[in-house]
Chain A
């Protein structure tokens, strides 16, 4: 069945229901999930507290008819219904706001970097999470923002500078071979993925927003996670995340780490809608502790689909 579905991927007439049917038994309230793909995801912005005060920005936008609505992610993350093209707004150009999906804001909150710590963002471009972490660290400590794709450096560097990030250096190593010269207190692996979580459904039920898979993602993701774990301080914390719903890109990757290293999956102490990670998939039994991982579905939290796991040394 899986082979047949993969054959369908990349065809123009692929329907969202056909694409996601492989997850019908995995996703709770599957019909609700499919229906949510027809809805527009609310515009969400993060207020950059390095350069702006949330209350000031709220007032400013309210005067323009944009009423920011609080989210479960705290006062910096707001829904901005009706804000047209936030990336063209002067507040964006001046570094005060940054358009960022709600789910994209969760990994940094889970990682919880502190001022003064040494932090690695292994797959950093375009810098959404790097700049969020810099704000959480009040521009103190050090973030290494690594991005192997050189053509993605300009966007990363432009975002760092526009948002006033002064605690970050950018490197360009392949993540799998990031040099073992430093140990980090916190590491974020927001791995390259299929991007299935971004998928939407068109008016005819067609699949939008995601395309055919590129390469062996599971292998690359596992290599990245293994190297990240090896770079972790003894008492360090690592977060692995993707915007995919595929267990092979998520739980199976973390499961491979648990089999290869003295690692454990930690419970996530945040209060927001989520579902637990799966512990079996396609006949493969995986570690029970993967239930501590989080699956974010668009019908539970109005955002793109996401996966994340918080990991430390055993």
Chain B
């Protein structure tokens, strides 16, 4: 991802999380005079010495992410969500990766030697069975 992208955002660090808020041309954030309880979107969380990208940030920034993307099929996703990790033999740079299903960004994964570990928050995709419908064209209607 081009680091220059971040010039379009204000960035705040609170605890172990970095938040991003679009800048929209402002030099100073106009709402600094308010007591704010939440700001923009969390983009990374520090895990040990590494910043881990959040799933919601990956969804927004996906068009600008060129490397470390892994495309999975439905079966792999279901296994990943069920067991937390799946075997993975294709070459790739170890570390955090963007996981996608078709053209949809699922969220963050961690590429380790021989496997991928899910970093997608529990419950974010509550019904893996529906993922099958997402690509297979199965009917999910009540009529």
Contact = CB atoms under 8 A, between A and B. Distances in A.
A64 B138 contact: yes
A51 B100 CA distance: 14
Question: What's the dominant secondary structure at chain B's contact region?
Answer: mixed
Interface string B123-143: 011110011011001111111
A144 B60 contact: no
A161 B45 CA distance: 15
Interface string B15-42: 0000011101110001101111111111
A90 B142 CA distance: 17
Contacts of A141: 22, 24
Given A89-B140, A166-B60, A161 B104 contact: no
Given A64-B137, A66-B141, A90 B125 contact: yes
B62 to A, nearest CB: 9
A153 B60 CA distance: 22
Contacts, number: 125
Contact of A161 (B36, B56, B105): B56
B140 A168 contact: no
B29 to A, nearest CB: 8
Contacts of B41: 160-161, 164-166
Contacts of B40: 166-169
Given A51-B59, A164-B56, A56 B20 contact: no
A66 B104 contact: no
B130 A171 contact: no
A116 B134 CA distance: 35
A27 interface: no
A8 to B, nearest CB: 34
Contact of B56 (A84, A162, A167, A168): A162
Interface of A: 50-51, 56, 60, 63-66, 81-84, 88-91, 93-96, 115-116, 118, 139-142, 144, 153, 157, 160-162, 164-173, 179, 181-182
Interface of B: 9, 20-22, 24-26, 30-31, 33-42, 56, 59-60, 103-106, 124-127, 130-131, 133-134, 137-143
